[in-house]
Amino acid sequence: MQTTRLAAASAAALGLLLATGCTTDSPTDAPEDETTTAAESGDEWFVQADYDEQLAQRDIEPEGDPATPWLQAIEPEWIDTSQFAREGGDATVCFSNASVSNPWRVTGWITMQQQVEVLQESGEIGEFRVSDAGDDDDQQISDIQAFIDAGDCNAIIISPSTTATLTPAVEAACESGVPVVVFDRGVNTDCAVTFIHPIGGYAFGADAAEFLVDELEPGSKVLALRILPGVDVLENRWAAAEKIFAESELEVLGNEFTGGDAAEIKNIVTQYLQRGDVDGIWMDAGDGAVAAIEAFEDAGKPLPVMTGEDELSFMRKWEETGMTALAPVYSNFQWRTPIIAATMILAGEQVPAEWVLPQDPITAAELDDYLARNEEMPSLHYAKFGGEDLPGFPDAWRDR
């Protein structure tokens, strides 16, 4: 009895503590934003308007030179940034990174550092300060807060770990008056000067799904391999594919979470093959794609029609086996753009309010070209990394 009562009492005490805690007035920097619409309070992950927009954007010719896709933009709305113009160069650029916890981010991160070196040489960037949150949203909020409190960042670049959860922190960064650049995953606020991203998850998932629908006979069986549940950018890829598959005559055998672990992927595919034929594989990211192909080889089954990603191990296996495949791309070269955007903003030049980068899958016709261009690169490297013209090429990526 004693303990139960005590537990109840402590619970009450906890509540009381909290209540008193939150009524404290904020003398300093409370984020005051009335427009916070932490949207999606339901858990519906399919937004028809976004889907339609992204699918349409795939066919729009981007502005800018195709030789430098990281500077291209789809239907940009150029905005004035003269208020952020700064004299004297040697800007301190602060970058809050979600993590470098997968090969895609590792590749992009190297590209970004190489781009920074170029701009440091030319004197536009002085210090480049980085925090890495290790995929922890709470940590990243602290990281961003630390940049704001330090007070000497001339620009803050943020690659958010999760869309909705970083919104308050990004708003706080905007309010500090420093230009903010957000890239990769977005946030639920448009307070940043520019938000840089490739077309998006729906387009990625749709490119892959449409390819399978085109290449496979009606009635064929498709297995979907996904990394994790609950990550919005990945959920969008699947949502688009699910819709397209539902409207097609393909049969979806299942959608499985693999954690991107090759052994897990091979296990799952092997088990599906024991139960029957699999004609197509759809993946929401290319990690471990080769293991899926090997499962077919080891089971002595004909190779499936498959979509992976522009990760080289997959593309090399694709070439070696001559299978029917597509490499959808979540443009890795986007890691260069935020650095360039930050220096443009600090120079008072116009930038697109939403900087939508092209996102073109690699088809069989382009396969040899991209493999040749990346010949020396390690197998967990991304073909469209867009760093070939940087001075560190190829050593920085090859000998990392």
Partner 1 sequence: MTAIATAWHRLTARLAALGTTALIYLALAGVLVLGGAAVAIDGADKGANLFATANLVDMLTRTSLTGFLAIGMTLVILCRSLDLSVGYTAALSSLVAATTMDGRPENIPVAIGAVLLVSGLIGAANGAIVAFLRVNPFIATLGTGLIIKGYLDTEYKGPAGDVPELFQQFGYTRIGFIPVSALVMLALAGAAVWFLRSTRTGHHMYAVGGDAEVARMSGIRTDRVLIAAHVLCAMCAGVAGLLLAARFGTGSAEAYTNLYELDAIAAVVLGGTLLLGGRGGVAGTVAGVAILAVLDTVFNVMQIDPFAKDVLRGAVIIAAVALYARRQLDRTAARPRFAAAEGKSR
Partner 2 sequence: MTRLRGPVDLLRWAANPTGTVFVLLAVIFAWIFVLNDAFFAGPSFMAFLKQAAPLMVLAAGQYFVIVSGNFDLSVGALVGAQVVIAARLIDGEESRTVPVLLVMVGFGLLVGLVNGLITTVLKVQSFITTLGMLLVLFGAIRLWTGGAPTGGLSESFRTAGRMGIEGVPVLGQIPWAVIIMVAVGAGAILLMRTGFGRILMASGDNERAAGLAGARVDAARIAAFLLSGLSATIAGILIGGYAGVSAQVGDGLEFTVITAVVLGGVVLGGGRGSVLAAMAGALAIEALFSLFNQMALPATLRPTVQGAIIIAAVAYAARRRARPGSTAPHVSATANPS
Q: For the chain, what is the largest distance between any 2 Cα atoms, rounded to a whole number of angstroms?
A: 75
Smaller CB separation from partner 2, 192 or 224: 224
Least spacing, CB of residue 115 vs partner 2, in Å: 17
E strand or H helix that includes residue 138: helix 137-150
Contacts with partner 1, 11-50, as mask; x by CB under 8 A: x-xxx-xxx-xx-xxxxxxxxxx--x-x-xxxx-x-----
Selection from 153, 159, 71, 118 nearest residue 351 by Cα: 71
Q: DSSP labels for 153-165?
A: -SEEEEE-SSTTT
Task: Give the whole-angstrom CA distance, residue 317 versus residue 31.
Answer: 50
The footprint of partner 2 on this chain (CB under 8 A) covers a number of residues equal to: 39
From candidates 15, 123, 177, 229, binder to partner 2 by CB under 8 A? 229
**Token output for 67:** 């030789």
Chain center to CA of 21:
36
Are the beta carbons of 378 and 395 closer than 8 angstroms? Answer: no
Q: For residue 263, state whether it binds partner 2 (rule: CB under 8 A).
A: yes
Least spacing, CB of residue 216 vs partner 1, in Å: 27
From candidates 163, 165, 267, 321, binder to partner 2 by CB under 8 A? 267
**Token output for 208:** 């892959």
Least spacing, CB of residue 387 vs partner 1, in Å: 20
The region of 56-64, 161-169, 254-262, 342-350 touching partner 2 under the rule CB under 8 A is 254-262
Selection from 261, 271, 259 nearest residue 296 by Cα: 271
From candidates 102, 120, 142, 255, binder to partner 1 by CB under 8 A? 142
Least spacing, CB of residue 343 vs partner 2, in Å: 25
**Burial (0-12, 13-18, 19+ Cβ within 10 Å), 95:** buried
**Burial (0-12, 13-18, 19+ Cβ within 10 Å), 19:** exposed
From candidates 74, 172, 174, 213, binder to partner 1 by CB under 8 A? 172
Q: State the binding partner of 2 from partner 2, partner 1, none, CB within 5 to 8 A by kind.
A: partner 1
Q: State the binding partner of 14 from partner 2, partner 1, none, CB within 5 to 8 A by kind.
A: partner 1
Alpha carbon of 27 to those of 30, 31, 334: distances in Å?
8, 12, 39
Helix (H, G, I), strand (E, B) or coil at 336: coil
Task: Give the whole-angstrom CA distance, residue 145 versus residue 176.
Answer: 10
Helix (H, G, I), strand (E, B) or coil at 97: strand
Alpha carbon of 102 to those of 105, 106, 227, 228, 352: distances in Å?
5, 6, 12, 13, 29
Q: Which of residues 362-381 bind partner 2 (CB under 8 A)?
A: 378-380
Q: For residue 277, state whether it binds partner 2 (rule: CB under 8 A).
A: no
Q: For residue 288, state whether it binds partner 2 (rule: CB under 8 A).
A: yes
Q: Which of residues 94-133 bind partner 2 (CB under 8 A)?
A: 100, 102-103, 105-107, 109-110
The region of 7-15, 219-227, 269-277, 314-322 touching partner 1 under the rule CB under 8 A is 7-15
Contacts with partner 1, 216-255, as mask; x by CB under 8 A: ------------xxxxx--x--------------------
CA atoms within 13 A on the CB side of 208: 34
Which residues bind to partner 2, rule: CB under 8 A? 100, 102-103, 105-107, 109-110, 229, 254-257, 259-263, 265-268, 270-272, 274-275, 287-288, 290-291, 294, 298-299, 313, 378-380, 400
Which residues bind to partner 1, rule: CB under 8 A? 2-4, 6-7, 10-11, 13-15, 17-19, 21-22, 24-33, 36, 38, 40-43, 45, 99-100, 127, 129-132, 134-139, 141-143, 145-146, 149-151, 162-169, 172, 228-232, 235
